[in-house]
Amino acid sequence: MKILLAGDSTVANCPTYEYPMSGWGAHLAPEVYSWGAVHNFAKGGATTESFREEGLWYELLHQAVSGDVVLIQFGHNDQKRGHLGARGGYADNLRRMVGDVRAKGAAPVLCTSVERRHFSDGRLEETLGEYPAVVRELGIELGLDVVDLNSWTRALYAGLGEEGSKELFFHFGPGEHAHWFGGLLDDTHFHERGARRIAAFVAARLEVLGFKPEPDLLAVF
């Protein structure tokens, strides 16, 4: 079976010159390769609208067949577009995506957006408004599985604390990275350390949700 990914930069395979910046989708394959072949279509800056307009959604659907799984995670960039409000264009686009996947016989799985690392007075702030809640509601409305990355990443950052959670993100001082020679403190995009942890969680959730084939069925894939 295939596991096809639709999403933004927090899911995407980053360009080599940005290494070790990484989306979690880049590290899902090592967790699932024995039973699922990962195809990552996620792109930096993508919204639920631009992903379709740029042809990425068509490319993904063209590869999807019955028995495949399609993971969908958007929100960070939709949030920046007034017409893609959580309960407006964003929700409508996700409903359409779910319908498209089901029409191909594949299984859609919505993912709430990973949280940004924003602390204030030692407390982790919520930065994604109603977007995660809308995804949870769509899971109930449409009767499909949801991987709640927002809740899980919030718990992860809070558990590590304001200082400890820095290691998950892309923080470099001046002169430490050739592409960002002046330094970069990015609390949205992950260092590969963080991306790997999220990918491991996604893989574990897919198994719990029953997407990993039974051992006696693996031989036929």
Q: Which tens digit of pLDDT belongs to each residue from 154-207? A: 999 999 999 999 999 999 999 999 999 999 999 999 999 999 999 999 999 999
Between CA 135 and CA 143 the distance in angstroms is 12
Between CA 160 and CA 194 the distance in angstroms is 12
Query: According to the model, what pLDDT value does residue 121 have?
Result: 92
The yes-or-no verdict on residue 217 having pLDDT over 70 is no
When the pLDDT of each residue in the chain is averaged and rounded to a whole number, the result is 96
The yes-or-no verdict on residue 218 having pLDDT over 90 is no
Between CA 201 and CA 147 the distance in angstroms is 9
Q: Give just the sign of the alpha carbon dihedral 119, 165, 199, 42.
A: positive
Q: Are 7 and 74 in contact (CB under 8 A)?
A: yes
pTM tops 0.75, yes or no: yes
Please give the angle made by the CA atoms of 184, 158 and 173, to the nearest 5 degrees: 15
pLDDT tier for residue 57 given thresholds of 50, 70 and 90: very high
Cis peptide before 215 (omega within 30 of 0): no
Query: Could you give the angle at which helices 131-142 and 89-103 cross, rounded to 10 degrees?
Result: 40
Output the CA–CA distances (angstroms, integers) from residue 112 to 130, 136, 162, 179, 181, in the order listed.
10, 7, 22, 30, 33
pLDDT in tens, 79-107: 999 999 999 999 999 999 999 999 999 99
* Interacting residues of 144 by C-beta distance below 8 A, sequence separation 6+: 98, 107, 108, 109, 110, 138
Q: Between β-strands 146-147 and 107-111, what pairing exists: parallel, antiparallel or unpaired?
A: parallel
* Interacting residues of 98 by C-beta distance below 8 A, sequence separation 6+: 72, 108, 110, 138, 142, 144
Between CA 69 and CA 182 the distance in angstroms is 41
Query: According to the model, what pLDDT value does residue 196 have?
Result: 98
Query: According to the model, what pLDDT value does residue 219 have?
Result: 53
Say which DSSP state 213 is in: P
77 exposed, middle or buried (CB, 10 Å; 0-12, 13-18, 19+)? buried
Query: According to the model, what pLDDT value does residue 81 have?
Result: 97
